[in-house]
Structure 1
């Protein structure tokens, strides 16, 4: 197996990092008292985790022989937290409750 930093993985990392950079760029619109504490490491933690998740998800796709073109790889990176959260919440072994109207 070659390097894991393939083009789709790098594009996904870029997409995930771009989301965080856009959030940072938007902070100029937030009043100073409401801005986050930039000295707190927890503020900067997502800047490392998000690209890792985005790149990891792209790696899972490409390892499954799914071709990711650059724009799709960026989209995977941007949406990685949502995709992974949905995967984590889905339990195929848990029966779905059927909602019925009272008196039906």
Structure 2
């Protein structure tokens, strides 16, 4: 339990921000037709409820570790936007290198 007390409050706020996004998605499920609703008994559906707060808290930890002050509202913003930022960074540098073949004389 000592580990939990060492974590900065900014990290907790960021984790809460990321978790709140998933709760909002869950709250909006009633608007979907019954056939389009996910199977809530499937454990795979609940994985993002664990992974996204870890990503949000991890990004806030990187900020705090680099001596950046995160106010509570900024930490929540980091947590909310962490999945989007990480997805954008992953798509910006793809793992596969693409080769472009240009015709002669082009």
What TM-score, normalized to structure 2? 0.78
Aligned positions, number: 90
Q: Which runs of 5+ in 1 are unaligned?
A: 92-104
Query: How far apart are 1:86 and its partner, in Å?
Result: 2.5
> What are the within-5 Å matches in structure 2 for residues 1-104 of structure 1?
3-91=5-93
CA deviations 1:21-68 (Å, max 9, x no partner) are: 000000111111110011111100000000000000000000000110
When the two chains are superposed, the root-mean-square deviation of aligned CA atoms in Å is 1.6
CA distance in 2 between counterparts of 1:85 and 1:33 reads 28
Q: What is the alpha-carbon distance in structure 2 between the residues aligned to residue 66 and residue 84 of structure 1?
A: 19
> Could you tell me how far apart the structure 1 residues matched to 2:38 and 2:80 are?
22
* Structure 2: 5+ residue stretches without partners: 94-106
Alpha-carbon shift at residue 15 of structure 1 (Å): 0.2
